[in-house]
């Protein structure tokens, strides 16, 4: 079994609402934001389809297939339209 | 029609056909002024100037409130107490506009039209006064209006002149707009355009603080424009009350230097983004969710990209909650609208560090701010260099050209009206977008397909999606069937 990555995850808008918190540290076998979202979506029943999700890694928007490393901060951002 | 008369005013008869309401105002010489007894009044006007300004003002009112008729008569010369000094009459399809317009005309008349009055008091005194200035009150001048702002070294007289020369369009007079508009007006943005087709609803009032309970049912653009013009008489405020569309947006954008996106739905946000990119205009955008929001500045001169660099497709409306579905704390749009005004003013003044390469996330509950760096996406469908053109207009279907291998795919749903465009013998298939999963596999991706819908938004998104999935000849009809029908006959 590969080593788990230690990650910090931040949630915004609908993710924060559905997760019930804004930030958490976790250990994950996911090596990309896409895999991490799939894992978290299954665990927390996020309603947003994966193609609508954007991720930022360490403070910058990043492709969903960017490799993750231990210690990374991953932010999941849904589209938002309210005004 | 605006006129001056030296004789007692005889109220004209308004005869506009189709009017649901006529409102008239009869302004008389009052018996006292600031506690002193008035016996007579002299009105004096520089006729040409007054007539020109008066006509302009009635024309503006007619456009802004959709009036069928507007008349104003002002008397000049010596008037006695009880004489009619000014008479205003308007006709509109509905009473609300008629009442609104009548009062607006009176306010503007007092502010803008140079008519002086000399009051003769019972004690023998007399004096000339400006029509709207109460004695003892310091007059408002541009100098004192902006003095605390000009005092800033980073603004100064030169900065104030930049703001005065600037033309800013605010799209959406909702929660965000209600916060941004007063600060832009007060800062002295010389031309302020306010675009909203909506009317005030009761559910708006907890966050749309330019409107009062009695405004429910009234048009937001006109109300916001009136507020801004009252706040700052030294700027030009324009209300645009029509719904913004892909066809009308470029015509509106061309009159402005910078645009604020204060709207509340994806379709309009993407329309503003695409138009701003196409016309090279900076766009300050905010979007909210419950207690938090996002702030962007898309500057075409910088490498930060645009909205579609992050979200190439328009997310389906309702995939995340709107204010109506998810709720929103009223102060949240207040904070973000003020931030939008701040970014716009910074941009116009070249002040500080604009947010052109990052999105700012702010959560009111924790007061935590997060900045996430953005970069232009080279594959962006609107601002990317190599974005393949997916939109075509009807020119390729001009007679004499061979389109026998093309297929038109009509994506409109069963419940929509589906007027068709005459395209000769080119096959036209109706395949509703909602069932794309069922029919898409039957199409040959190597053949040219022209996808169409009512306005070209869904077909544009769909064609771009197919291009990314390896369909080299997927096209969308620009502007949709609705635009094409304006130029083309309807098929049988
Ligand atoms: Zn872009």
B320/A59 touch (CB, cutoff 8 Å), yes or no: no
Minimum mean pLDDT range among B28-37, B204-213, B379-388: B379-388
Rounded Cα distance between B175 and B195, Å, is: 14
Establish whether domains B2-129 and B142-373 are of one fold.
no
- Tell me which residue has tokens 């910090």: A8
Mean pLDDT of chain B: 87
Which residues pair with residue B295 across a beta bridge? B286, B360
In a domain, A22, yes or no: yes
For residue B490, pLDDT beyond 60 = no
The answer, for A8 touching chain B at a CB cutoff of 8 Å, is no
Which of A15-29, B107-121, B307-321 is most confident? A15-29
Closest residue in B to A46 (Cα–Cα): B320
- pLDDT band with cut points at 50, 70 and 90 for residue B421: confident
In a domain, A61, yes or no: yes
Residue B396 has what pLDDT?
A: 45
Closest residue in B to A15 (Cα–Cα): B320
List per-residue pLDDT tens for chain A, 83 residues long.
568 999 999 999 889 989 999 999 999 999 999 999 999 999 999 999 898 899 999 999 999 999 999 999 999 999 888 88
A61/B375 touch (CB, cutoff 8 Å), yes or no: yes
A79/B319 touch (CB, cutoff 8 Å), yes or no: yes
User: Which of A12, A60, A79 is facing B315, going by the closest CB pair?
Assistant: A79
Residue B387 has what pLDDT?
A: 53
Q: Report how far ligand 1's centroid is from the alpha carbon of B311 (Å).
A: 9
Minimum mean pLDDT range among A9-23, B61-75, B117-131, B470-484: B117-131
pLDDT in tens, B232-278: 999 999 999 999 988 889 889 989 999 999 999 999 999 999 889 88
- Mean per-residue pLDDT, B421-427: 73
User: Which of A14, A56, A75 is facing B320, going by the closest CB pair?
Assistant: A14
| 3-class state of residue B350 by DSSP | coil
Residue B133 has what pLDDT?
A: 42
Residue B164 has what pLDDT?
A: 97
A83/B320 touch (CB, cutoff 8 Å), yes or no: no
B322/A81 touch (CB, cutoff 8 Å), yes or no: yes
Rounded Cα distance between B423 and B421, Å, is: 6
Buried b (16+ CB within 10 A) or exposed e, A2-31: eeebebebbbbbbbbbbbeebeeebebebe
For residue B300, pLDDT beyond 90 = no
**Domain count within chain A:** 1
- pLDDT band with cut points at 50, 70 and 90 for residue B392: low
Closest residue in A to B266 (Cα–Cα): A81
| B362 neighbors B354 (Cβ within 8 angstroms) | no
Which chain B residues are closer than 8 Å to A54 by Cβ?
310-311
B375/A14 touch (CB, cutoff 8 Å), yes or no: no
Which chain A residues are closer than 8 Å to B319 by Cβ?
48-49, 52, 79
| 3-class state of residue B481 by DSSP | helix
B323/A82 touch (CB, cutoff 8 Å), yes or no: yes
- Mean per-residue pLDDT, B292-308: 91
For residue B390, pLDDT beyond 80 = no
Q: Report how far ligand 1's centroid is from the alpha carbon of B211 (Å).
A: 35
Residue B49 has what pLDDT?
A: 82
Short-list B187, B3, B221, CA closest to B97: B221
For residue B385, pLDDT beyond 70 = no
Which chain A residues are closer than 8 Å to B293 by Cβ?
80, 82
* Topology (CATH level 3) of domain B389-487: Oxidized Rhodanese; domain 1 (3.40.250)
pLDDT in tens, B132-164: 544 445 678 999 999 999 999 999 999 999 999
Question: A interface mutation test: which of B319, B339, B374, B377 has the most A CBs within 10 A?
Answer: B319
Please count the residue pairs, one from chain A and one from chain B, whose beta carbons lie less than 8 angstroms apart. 96
A80/B289 touch (CB, cutoff 8 Å), yes or no: yes
- pLDDT band with cut points at 50, 70 and 90 for residue B128: low
pLDDT in tens, B334-343: 999 999 999 9
B320/A13 touch (CB, cutoff 8 Å), yes or no: yes
Phi, psi of B39 (to 5 degrees): -110, -30
Minimum mean pLDDT range among A73-77, B283-287, B430-434: B430-434
- Give the residue, B456 or B156, on which the prediction is more confident: B156
Domain hosting A57: range is 5-77
Q: Report how far ligand 1's centroid is from the alpha carbon of B312 (Å).
A: 8
In a domain, A82, yes or no: no
Buried b (16+ CB within 10 A) or exposed e, B211-223: beeebeebbbbbb
User: Which of B288, B317, B373 is facing A80, going by the closest CB pair?
Assistant: B288
As its CATH architecture, domain B2-129 has: Alpha-Beta Complex (3.90)
Residue A2 has what pLDDT?
A: 64
- Give the residue, B428 or B235, on which the prediction is more confident: B235
Q: State the smallest CA–CA distance between residue B319 and chain A in angstroms.
A: 7
pLDDT in tens, B77-100: 999 989 999 999 999 998 888 999
Task: Give the start-to-end residue ranges of the domains of chain B.
Answer: 2-129, 142-373, 389-487
Rounded Cα distance between B188 and B145, Å, is: 9
Task: Give the end-to-end CA distance of chain A in Å, rounded to a whole number.
Answer: 47
User: Which of A13, A61, A83 is facing B172, going by the closest CB pair?
Assistant: A83
Q: Where does residue B92 fall: left (phi above 0), alpha (psi -120 to 50 degrees), or beta otherwise?
A: beta
For residue B407, pLDDT beyond 60 = yes
A80/B374 touch (CB, cutoff 8 Å), yes or no: no
Length of chain B: 492
pTM of the prediction?
A: 0.66
The answer, for A20 touching chain B at a CB cutoff of 8 Å, is no
In a domain, A83, yes or no: no
**Token pair in block for residue A40:** 């978290």
In a domain, A37, yes or no: yes
For residue B491, pLDDT beyond 60 = no
Question: A interface mutation test: which of B262, B289, B310, B371 has the most A CBs within 10 A?
Answer: B289
What superfamily would CATH give domain B142-373?
Answer: NAD(P)-binding Rossmann-like Domain (3.40.50.720)
Residue B14 has what pLDDT?
A: 84
Classify burial at B344, counting beta carbons within 10 Å of its beta carbon; exposed 0-12, middle 13-18, buried 19 or more: buried
In a domain, A51, yes or no: yes
Please report the DSSP string for B279-307 in residue order: HT--EEEEEEEBTEEEEEEE-TTSTT--H
A79/B372 touch (CB, cutoff 8 Å), yes or no: no
Question: B interface mutation test: which of A47, A73, A81 has the most B CBs within 10 A?
Answer: A81
Kindly give, in sequence order, each residue whose CB lies less than 8 Å from that of residue B44, ignoring residues fewer than 6 positions away: B76, B115, B116, B117, B118
Task: Give the end-to-end CA distance of chain B in Å, rounded to a whole number.
Answer: 48
Q: How far is CA B72 from the centre of its chain?
A: 28
A54/B371 touch (CB, cutoff 8 Å), yes or no: no
Question: A interface mutation test: which of B357, B370, B464 has the most A CBs within 10 A?
Answer: B370
- pLDDT band with cut points at 50, 70 and 90 for residue B46: confident
| B26 neighbors B73 (Cβ within 8 angstroms) | no
Output the domain CATH number for residue A45: 3.10.20.30
ipTM for this prediction: 0.86
Rounded Cα distance between B263 and B273, Å, is: 12
pLDDT in tens, B167-210: 999 999 999 999 999 999 999 999 999 999 999 999 999 999 99
Which chain A residues are closer than 8 Å to B177 by Cβ?
83
Q: Report how far ligand 1's centroid is from the alpha carbon of B272 (Å).
A: 12
- pLDDT band with cut points at 50, 70 and 90 for residue B394: low
């Amino acid at each position: 079994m590969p080593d788990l990555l230690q990650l910090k995850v931040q949630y915004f808008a609908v993710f924060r609402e559905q997760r019930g918190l804004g930030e958490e540290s976790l250990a994950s076998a996911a090596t990309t934001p896409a895999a991490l979202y799939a894992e978290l979506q299954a665990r927390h029943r996020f309603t947003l389809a994966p193609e609508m999700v954007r991720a930022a890694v360490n403070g910058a928007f990043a492709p969903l297939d960017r490799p993750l490393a231990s210690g990374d901060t991953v932010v999941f951002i849904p589209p938002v339209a309210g005004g | 029609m605006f006129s001056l008369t030296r004789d007692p005013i005889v109220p004209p008869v308004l005869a506009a056909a189709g009017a649901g309401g006529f409102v008239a105002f009869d302004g008389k010489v009052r018996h006292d002024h600031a506690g002193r007894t008035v016996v007579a009044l002299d009105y004096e006007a520089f006729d040409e100037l007054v007539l020109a300004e008066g006509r302009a003002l009635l024309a503006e009112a007619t456009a802004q409130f959709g009036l069928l008729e507007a008349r104003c008569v002002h008397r000049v010369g010596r008037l006695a107490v009880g004489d009619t000094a000014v008479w205003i009459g308007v006709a509109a399809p509905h009473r609300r506009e008629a009442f609104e317009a009548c009062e607006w005309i009176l306010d503007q008349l007092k502010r803008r039209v140079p008519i002086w009055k000399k009051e003769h008091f019972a004690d023998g005194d007399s004096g000339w006064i400006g029509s709207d200035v109460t004695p003892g009150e310091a007059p408002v001048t541009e100098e004192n209006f902006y003095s605390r702002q000009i005092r800033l070294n980073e603004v100064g007289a030169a900065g104030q002149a930049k703001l005065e020369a600037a033309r800013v369009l605010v799209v959406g007079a909702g929660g965000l707009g209600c916060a941004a508009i007063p600060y832009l007006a007060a800062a002295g943005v010389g031309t302020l355009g306010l675009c909203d087709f909506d009317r005030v609803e009761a559910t708006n009032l907890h966050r749309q603080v330019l409107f009062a309970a009695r405004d429910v049912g009234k048009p937001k653009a006109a109300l916001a424009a009136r507020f801004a013009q009252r706040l700052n008489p030294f700027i030009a405020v324009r209300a645009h009350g029509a719904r913004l569309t892909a066809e009308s947006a470029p015509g509106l954008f061309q009159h402005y230097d910078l645009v604020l996106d204060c709207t509340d739905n994806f379709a309009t946000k993407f329309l503003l983004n695409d138009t701003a990119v196409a016309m090279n205009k900076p766009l300050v955008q905010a979007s909210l969710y419950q207690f938090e929001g996002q702030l962007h500045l898309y500057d075409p001169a910088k490498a930060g990209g645009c909205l579609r660099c992050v979200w190439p497709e328009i997310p389906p409306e309702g995939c995340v909650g709107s204010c109506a579905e998810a709720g929103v704390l009223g102060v949240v749009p207040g904070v973000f609208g003020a931030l939008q005004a701040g970014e716009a003013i910074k941009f116009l003044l070249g002040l500080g560090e604009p947010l052109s390469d990052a999105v700012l996330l702010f959560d009111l509950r924790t007061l935590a701010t997060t900045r996430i760096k953005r970069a232009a996406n080279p594959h962006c469908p609107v601002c990317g260099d190599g974005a393949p053109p997916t939109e075509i207009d009807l020119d390729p279907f001009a007679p004499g050209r061979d389109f026998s291998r093309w297929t038109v795919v009509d994506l409109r749903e069963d419940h929509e009206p589906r007027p068709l465009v005459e395209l000769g013998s080119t096959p036209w298939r109706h395949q509703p977008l909602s069932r794309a999963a069922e029919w898409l596999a039957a199409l040959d991706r190597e053949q040219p397909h022209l996808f169409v819908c009512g306005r070209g938004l869904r077909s544009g998104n769909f064609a771009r999606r197919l291009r990314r999935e390896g369909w080299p000849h997927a096209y969308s009809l620009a502007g949709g069937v609705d635009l094409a029908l304006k130029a083309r006959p309807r098929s049988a």
